[in-house]
Amino acid sequence: MKAGHGLRIAVFGDIVGRSGRTTVVERLPRLRRDLNLDFIVVNAENAAGGFGVTPRICEELFDAGADVLTTGNHAYDQRDDIAIFDREPRLLRPANFAPSNPGRGSAMFQDSQGRNILVIHVQGQRGMFPVDDPCAAVDRELAAVQLGREADAVIVDFHAEATSEKYSMGHHLDGRVSLVVGTHTHVPTADDQILTHGTAYITDLGMCGDYDSVIGMEKTEPLHRFVTKIPGGRFTPAAGAATICGVVTETDSKTGLATSVSALRTGGRLREIRPDF
């Protein structure tokens, strides 16, 4: 472990469409500065028109200050250039996708002080398309890396539908990683906490997008489908003011476990929440 204070890490929820993407790009540099952030992870799986991510969008987010981008079940929706998952080591797809799929599900990164941060990305099984066991996938990624020794911090983005599956993952990893965040549902939960053995946890970060919507999509088509059970057109991202949703965690410099965790919400329609440190 490097000597000195622990890491201050922010993870931001699924970016949805142009509104969410533009707001994150505009505000991320100031958030990094104002909150004195050492490392930033952003889930970008809905950044390209609500479906997937493109090389240009990746560069915009990296230039704005994102250190790592995660994705999820929409990782490969922009099929024209999915080879970016092989080319760009800072872009992750879930580790429990088929091994032959483009990209990687975890990687070790360094902050500006040379501290090692392992980011692991997995997808849930309940209510999602079939994938391998996410718990086994995370265990494999952790087999050669111990928090507090090889890694100064370990972050897990668990892209999953079921709250019970997310909580189970949190308890499965409690004491072995710094932070477990849930993504995918686009609805922020109010359960940011430090679990019994020192791992920070939140069931879902929420999205970075317009909340005057149906989970980020313009309301007309989702409502039409719910009422009539007949598709009337394509889903399109809502274009109103976006709320940025995420979580900020501080770690212990010796153990890598969490010493504090707080939800972060700013802009748009939702009530503002800022960390009190």
Q: How do beta strands 153-159 and 200-202 pair?
A: unpaired
Q: Which residues contact 262 (CB under 8 A, 6 or more apart)?
A: 192, 247, 248, 249, 273, 274, 275, 276, 277
Q: Is 74 a catalytic residue?
A: yes
State how far the alpha carbon of 64 is from the alpha carbons of 5, 55, 146, 261, in Å. 25, 14, 30, 23
In 252-261, which positions are buried (b, 16+ CB within 10 angstroms) versus exposed (e)?
A: bbebbbbbbb
Do the domain assignments include residue 3? no
**From 5, 74, 121, 184, active-site residue:** 74
Do the domain assignments include residue 191? yes
CB 145 within 8 A of CB 41: no
The sign of the CA dihedral 173, 134, 203, 42 is positive
Q: What is residue 163's three-state secondary structure?
A: helix
* Domain count across the chain: 1
Q: pTM for this structure?
A: 0.96
Do the domain assignments include residue 52? yes
3 has a pLDDT exceeding 60 = no
Do the domain assignments include residue 275? no
State how far the alpha carbon of 260 is from the alpha carbons of 6, 89, 151, 187, in Å. 11, 29, 19, 22
For the chain, give the percent of residues with pLDDT over 90.
96
Do the domain assignments include residue 2? no
More confidently predicted of 247 and 5: 247
Average pLDDT, rounded, for the chain: 96
Do the domain assignments include residue 23? yes
Range of the domain at 107: 8-266
Length of the chain: 277
Token digits of residue 140 = 């494999």
Q: How confident is the model at residue 2 (pLDDT cuts 50, 70, 90)?
A: very low
Q: What is the CATH number of the domain that holds 142?
A: 3.60.21.10
Q: How confident is the model at residue 138 (pLDDT cuts 50, 70, 90)?
A: very high
